[in-house]
Every structure is written in C-alpha cells, then in structure tokens.
Amino acid sequence: MSEHFDAGWLSLREPADHAARSTALADALDAWARQVRATPQTPLRVFDLGAGRGSGLRWLAPRLPEPQHWTLVDHDAELLEAACRGAGGEYVRERRVEDFAAGPPPLPDPPPGEPLVVTGSALLDLVSADWLDRLVAACAERGAAVLFALSYDGRIEASPADHGDAALRAAVNRHQLTDKGFGPALGPRAGEYLARRLEDHGYAVEMADAVWDLDASRAGLASALMDGWVAAASAIEPGRAAAFREWGERRRAHIDRGEGRLRVGHRDVLGLPQKFSVEVNRPTRRSVAS
C-alpha cells in the first residue's frame, strides 16, 4: 500500500470527520444489529478496514449495541498500537497489519447469530473498482452489514469566490483518479460506485452527505488540506504550479483573517442485507440527511 497518512494528519482531521459523519446511518445500523443478533448478549463483530489511529472506532462504537468485538486492520502497526491505547480500545479483540495492495484482507466468518459489520472511513476513494468489487462480494457472501464513511465526492466549495477555484478543483479531482497503490482509484466516484455494487448484491442502501465545514476555528486542517490540494494539482498540471500556489496563499489569508470558509463534500454509505433491512424494504437507494 503506497498511500500513507501520518498520525499528525489523522489527529488533525478527526474532529472534522466526527462532526461530518451521518448519525442517521449509524442509528439504522444500530437497529439492524439489535434485530439480527441471536440474543442481547451476542457480540457484534466489527471489522474496521484502514482503522488508523481508531477514529472510526471512537465515533461508531458508542452508537452500536454492546457487547462489541472489533478487529482493527491497517498497514501501519504503530497507528494500530495508538488506536488500542486510546478511547474505545477496550472493544478491540484483534488487530491485523495488512498490506491492502493485493486486495481486501480476508473477512472473518462469525458463528451463526453473531452479526458482522464491515466498516471504514476515508478509504474507498483510494481503491480501484476491482478492489471494491471483491470486498462487496465477500461482504455479501457473509451477510455482513456495510458502513463506509467519508468517501470524498469531488465537491470543493470555497468562499469568498476566487478565480482559481474551478481550475484547482478540476486538477485535484483528476489526481484523485490516479493509482494510489490499488490500481486506478475510484476517487470522487467511490460512494456512488459502492452503492450500486451493494444494490447489485441485493442490499438495501442508504447514503448521506458528510461535509467538512472549515473556517478559522479549523485553520490548521484547512491549511494542511490546501497544501495537499496544491501539491496534487501541481502534479497533474505542472505548468500551472505557480498559479496553484498563489491560490493557496490567497485562500490561507482568507481563513486566517476569519473571512474564508471551505466546504469539502464526502458521502457515507450504509448497506444492509436485504432480508434484514430495518427501514428500507426494497433494493432501491435513498439519501438521508446527516
């Protein structure tokens, strides 16, 4: 896996991630888990792909029924160690260091009556269609519920308007489609692609917006994000690198003065095995508010 995220970046983005995620989808997953487990004492198995420092664990575990047995999977052993030391670590029963480049890690086969949830965040926009096809097929084979959060969807909205916004956004979104170590990345198409593939396997699917809303109160995240965008856009269009750097400087100045705002679009996607669906009783998709 060639894409690497350091602990500092993951810590910086966690508050924005938690604020953006859809509680409505978590509520639906909670209802499903309570419905299908054999008894109230039956553990819910949660398989967290790309778990990193445990941000998804910290957000999702309090919203699901106990007992819970989590397996954290990531390519970085140090990040997994940090996740187990942090809040929510008491739910972790296993951690696995895996390189996702060869394909999705093997999923567990829980005993009958123990529901399985396969989850992750900020992962699917990095992977290829083939990678995701194999993951969805494995989930369907096991009757697992699926909740993937914070897949970037191509929306970058900035205020006040700047003449460089459209070019920067277009270049960033082209970069999102390049190989991140898994083959050609789905990039902004990831959320919709996941929803279609789940429907193909008979899942009831719900989607929700998950938008980062960044102003001066999150200036550190906004600055780091813009640095990343400028680098990505410059890699795609080297001849415009100076213009992209100037765009970043203007945007940072707006944020620092308390005059600017960035909104970054993501999608959360929930798939429930059709025979166990809670609110959706036919294999058609609907979007819900966060």
The one-digit pLDDT tens for each residue of the chain (290 residues) are 445 567 788 899 999 999 999 999 999 999 999 999 999 999 999 999 999 999 999 999 999 999 999 999 999 999 999 888 876 778 889 999 999 998 999 999 988 899 999 999 999 999 999 999 999 999 999 999 999 999 999 999 999 999 999 999 999 999 999 999 999 999 999 999 999 999 999 999 999 999 999 999 999 999 999 999 999 999 999 999 999 999 999 999 999 899 899 999 999 999 999 755 445 433 334 444 44
Q: Give the range of the structural domain holding residue 144, as residue numbers without chain letter.
A: 7-153+182-213+263-288
- 176: in domain: no
Please answer whether residues 72 and 48 qualify as being in contact, where contact means their C-beta atoms are separated by less than 8 angstroms: yes
Token reading at 216: 């001066």
- Let me know if residue 128 belongs to a domain: yes
Q: Is residue 43 part of a domain?
A: yes
Instruction: Read off the CATH number of the domain in which 33 is found.
Output: 3.40.50.150
Tell me whether strands 212-214 and 68-74 are parallel, antiparallel or unpaired: unpaired
In a domain, 98, yes or no: yes
Q: Does residue 163 sit within a domain? A: no
d(CA 267, CA 153): 6
Note the pLDDT of residue 153: 97
d(CA 262, CA 115): 38
Q: What is the pTM of this model?
A: 0.91
Residue 2: what pLDDT? 46
Please give the pLDDT value at position 56: 96
Per the domain annotation, does 222 fall within a domain?
no
Q: Residue 221: how many CB atoms within 10 A of its CB?
A: 22
User: Is 169 within a domain?
Assistant: no
Q: How many domains does the chain have?
A: 1
> Is 250 a domain residue?
no
